[in-house]
């Protein structure tokens, strides 16, 4: 039975995404603020592999799409192009919020076009032992495939937690975005394990080798 209060029984159900999903997606460019950023989604199949790792797609769907794209490479190229456009729009919007600058109009337009074409979140339905969004029949086109990322970005951008989005201040140019969950809201690095430790080691080095020099100078070591 279908009415306005319940989804059709054959609808697929997408789990709601956490805030961090859209940031992990943006962070598929590593060393964003370095001279040579590292692209971790160099092709359409690489996007599918990333989605598989993020739990957004099943193995079967990935294999099927890869097969299809082998026969239709233009489709793969167009998909890849739009994925990167989405990612860079999301990055530009978050970056403007981090810098307390006006949201870039072009980035917002690109994001809104994609958001408008993505599945509508109309009904909740059981998904395993949780609830997810019932979005109609399975679709393998661009916005539908990345819907949880798009929703995650839209929710985070429009909610209060956007004020907790930060960009890693690593001096080598890590540039990853992260959510600052610290009580004081003063976290500066994407992780204490890597960028934070590197900053601490660098401060220690500068203090011991150049006690008279300020903490912002020094030569960056080779990128690890
Ligand atoms: Zn970092």
- Residue with the two structure tokens 């140019």: 173
Amino acid 8: pLDDT = 67
Q: Nearest to residue 27, comparing CAs of 17, 18, 37?
A: 37
User: Cβ(173)–Cβ(35) under 8 Å?
Assistant: yes
SS3 124: strand
Q: Residue 105 Cα, ligand 1 centroid: separation in angstroms? A: 28
Ligand 1 geometric centre to CA of 169 (Å): 7
Expressed in angstroms and rounded, the spacing between residue 166 Cα and the centre of ligand 1 is: 10
Residues with CB under 5 A from ligand 1 (ion): 168, 170, 174, 176, 190, 195
Look at the chain and count its residues.
224
According to the model, what pLDDT value does residue 187 have? 94
C-alpha 197 to ligand 1 mean position (Å):
10
In sequence order, what are the residues at sequence separation of 6 or more whose Cβ sits closer than 8 angstroms to the Cβ of residue 137? 10, 11, 12
Instruction: Calculate the alpha carbon distances from 12 to 19, 62, 135, 175, 220 in Å.
Output: 22, 16, 6, 36, 49
Q: What is the CA radius of gyration of the chain?
A: 20
* CA 39 to ligand 1 center in whole angstroms: 16
CA of 176 to the centre of ligand 1 (A): 5
Within the chain, which residues score under 70 in pLDDT? 1-4, 8-11, 138, 211-224
pLDDT in tens, 96-126: 999 999 999 999 999 999 999 998 888 888 8
Return the pLDDT at 197.
85
| Mean pLDDT across the chain | 88
What six digits make up the tokens of 204? Answer: 């220690």
Q: Which long-range contacts (CB under 8 A, 24 or more apart) does 86-91 make?
A: 86/110, 86/111, 86/114, 86/146, 86/149, 86/150, 87/25, 87/26, 87/28, 87/29, 87/41, 89/114, 90/22, 90/25, 90/26, 90/153, 91/26, 91/29, 91/32, 91/177
Q: Residue 86 Cα, ligand 1 centroid: separation in angstroms?
A: 22
């Amino acid at each position: 039975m279908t009415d306005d209060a319940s989804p059709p029984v054959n609808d697929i159900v997408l789990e709601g995404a956490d805030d961090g999903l859209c940031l992990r997606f943006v962070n598929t460019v590593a060393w964003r603020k370095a001279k040579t950023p590292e692209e971790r989604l160099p092709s359409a199949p690489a996007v599918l592999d990333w989605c598989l790792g993020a739990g957004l797609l099943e193995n079967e769907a990935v294999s099927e799409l890869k097969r299809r794209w082998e026969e239709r490479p233009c489709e793969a190229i167009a998909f890849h192009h739009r994925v990167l456009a989405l990612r860079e729009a999301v990055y530009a919007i978050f970056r403007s919020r981090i810098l307390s600058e006006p949201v870039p109009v072009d980035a917002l337009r690109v994001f809104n076009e994609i958001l408008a074409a993505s599945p509508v979140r109309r009904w909740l339905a059981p998904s395993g032992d949780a609830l997810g969004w019932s979005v109609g029949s399975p679709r393998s086109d661009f916005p539908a495939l990345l819907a949880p990322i798009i929703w995650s970005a839209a929710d985070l951008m429009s909610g209060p937690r956007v004020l907790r989005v930060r960009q890693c201040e690593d001096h080598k140019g890590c540039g990853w975005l992260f959510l600052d969950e610290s009580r004081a809201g003063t976290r500066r690095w994407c992780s204490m394990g890597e960028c934070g430790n590197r900053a601490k080691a660098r401060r220690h080095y500068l203090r011991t080798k150049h006690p008279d020099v300020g903490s912002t100078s020094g030569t960056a070591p080779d990128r690890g």
